Chains A and B, each alone.
Chain A
Amino acid sequence: MVLQQLVNALTLGAIYSLIALGYTLVYGILAMINFAHSEVLMLGAFAALGLATILPAAFGTGALGLGGMFVVSMLGAGLVNVIVERFAYRPLRHISRLAPLISAIGVSIVLQNAVFLWLSTQSLSFPQPVEIKQIPLGGGASVSSLQLVILGAALALMALLHFWVEKTKMGKAMRACADDITTAGLMGINADVVIAVTFFVGGALGGAAGVLYGMNYGSIKYNLGFLPGAKAFTAAVLGGIGNIRGAVLGGFILGGLEVLASGYIPNGAQWRDVIAFTVLILVLLVRPSGLLGEKLAEKV
């Protein structure tokens, strides 16, 4: 039972972590809540479904299908995020803190309704490129091949992100911009390019999370992004927004909390979101900048 819960918690936590990374990357560099990230996630899932519908023969099932879905959804979601940044956020970057947020809310509504109007108003079943097998773990617990794929893909992407941020020149430029965007500009870093790349990476992670979400739940809908988006944002804040390791930690904690609440508390499934948000508030009351967040200096 405990082992089974742990497997479920890790799977759910992996998806939340990937989404939370998209919020935290953008926040780290622009101190802005990318409200449209939940729609980027949804578009990623739809891009993968589109590929599987157009090319069922070549990409329907198996490792090739899986890989193709990830590539298409990550490229698509990353590009959407870059375009949104260029036209809806960049003109407002130096004006006020709240203007980009309102613009992001508008973008979110537009994207959701565009899918609602022109693609589908109903749930669509999501293709299953992995053959589902239960692998027993002993003690009555088991892990499905699907859960393994979700965990493996999420961890691989996180490792890739870690490598990119820590070891590449662009990653270094991104860290410099997150530290102090004006000084980074003075050192010859093109902040506009770095921000665009950050949005692409964040969007690509969101798109991948959309595919994992679709595979995990088996169907997708135009409004699927909102709930996991809001929760993953919560997870990012829990870990300390702007902090990459914090987002991953927050995502897994949130996944764990939800599974624990549904598994061990009477009527827990009904109350699990209440419990998750209550824990968030309590954590922030004790640690106002999240678990791994740096203490912000007072504005002087």
Chain B
Amino acid sequence: MSGLLRSRGTAWILIAAALALPFAAHAAEFPYLVRVGGIVGLFMLLGLGLNFTLGYVGLFDLGFIAFYAIGAYTTSIAMKAHVPAPAAILLAIAVTVFARLLLGISILRLRGDYLAVVTMGFGEIARLTINNMDWLTNGPKGMQVRPWRPLAFLAKDPNVQFYLLIVAAVLAGVAATRRLEDSRVGRAWVAIREDEVAARLSGIPVREYKLLAFTLSAVFAGLAGSLFALWEQFVTPESFVFWESVLVVSIVVLGGMGSISGVLLGALILAGVPPLMQATLSAEWINYRYLFFGLILVLVTLFRPQGLLPSSRREAELTS
């Protein structure tokens, strides 16, 4: 099953399906599907990013959404200062990476759950700071973002434009992650996750490699946040609450830590199902969507604790 999913042919079929989604949505007169696709894509990017920290190195991060927020707000502020959109995206990634590097340098010596609570604290600090700094971020009222239309030669509908841009970003992210996973760096990360002491004794500079994974994850968060701001044309602190961090952690763990296909599937289910339920269920059932979401989370964890599509390396460990 997992072999089939990892084959090259399946990958092309999935890419074709992703590109066909706007046509399907158009044909079915259900344009909302494109928006859901875009949201799923953004969470795929976030999941791929957190996968570096949580999946490869095993660092438990409960405040990842803060970097999504930093990316989104940097973009919004840059757009307000009349920076061209592509430059705003690059600037957002740079600022997010720098913020993550600073945090990483100071907190990475903490272990396990202490790291989790400090990152959770940082997430809350970031959100509340954005909320309170009215002069820069317009506080809880949120910020308008100057409209930008990418890929206008491909589609008229801005939702489709951003959807295609997000799909391209996800594909690039997957390609980059795969190259890293099979590299010397990727193997060093897994060695650290499995046994830090043994990794250090084998000559792996543990601290530097942890910091690298921690910082690299911010590229994805910054990019996703930036695309989110440009697409929505509006950001508020409400979009970056603690539950969103929890959602990204759930995507990585439920999909299968350290597994790219797992993270993509996790994002598809956890970020895609609630908005789809919201759009398709009758009014009396809409309120039940989070109840089902919680039940899915519990049941899948109970029956597939290793994740839906665990990495082959991890699966071998858990079943041997």
Contacts and interface: CB of A to CB of B under 8 A. Distances in A.
B187 interface: no
Interface in A91-134: 91-92, 95-96, 98-99, 101-103, 105-110, 112-114, 116-117
A277 interface: yes
A-B pairs, 6 with minimum CB distance: A106-B297, A109-B294, A106-B298, A277-B121, A110-B294, A99-B305
B122 interface: yes
Interface residues of B, number: 43
B196 interface: yes
B287 A280 contact: no
Contacts of A271: 128, 132
Interface of B: 60, 106-107, 109-111, 113-114, 116-118, 120-122, 124-125, 128-129, 132, 195-197, 242, 246, 249-250, 253-254, 257, 287-288, 290-291, 293-298, 301-302, 305-306
B125 A109 contact: no
A9 to B, nearest CB: 20
A111 to B, nearest CB: 8
For chain B, what secondary structure do more than half of its interface residues adopt (helix, strand, loop), or is it mixed? helix
A113 B294 contact: yes
A169 interface: no
A107 B296 CA distance: 10
A116 B298 contact: no
Nearest to B287: A117
30 contacts: A33-B113, A98-B60, A99-B301, A102-B253, A102-B301, A105-B249, A105-B294, A107-B298, A109-B293, A112-B294, A113-B287, A113-B291, A113-B294, A117-B291, A237-B114, A241-B113, A267-B132, A271-B128, A271-B132, A274-B129, A274-B132, A277-B124, A278-B121, A280-B121, A281-B121, A285-B106, A288-B110, A288-B111, A299-B197, A300-B197
For chain A, what secondary structure do more than half of its interface residues adopt (helix, strand, loop), or is it mixed? helix
Contacts of B287: 113, 116-117
Given A113-B291, A273-B124, A288-B109, 12 more contacts: A88-B302, A92-B302, A96-B306, A102-B253, A103-B302, A110-B298, A113-B294, A116-B287, A274-B128, A280-B121, A285-B106, A299-B197
Nearest to B124: A277
A119 to B, nearest CB: 13
With a 10 A CB-CB cut-off, give which of A92, A109, A267 has the most chain B CB atoms: A109
A252 interface: no
Given A88-B298, A230-B242, A109 B290 contact: yes
B294 A299 contact: no
Interface in A226-276: 226, 230, 233-234, 237, 241, 267, 270-271, 273-274
A271 B118 CA distance: 17
A117 B289 CA distance: 11
A289 interface: yes
A153 interface: no
A110 B298 CA distance: 9
B297 A274 contact: no
Contacts of A88: 298, 302
Given A274-B125, A288-B114, A103 B197 contact: no
A234 B117 contact: yes
A110 B301 CA distance: 14
Contact of A273 (B106, B110, B128, B305): B128
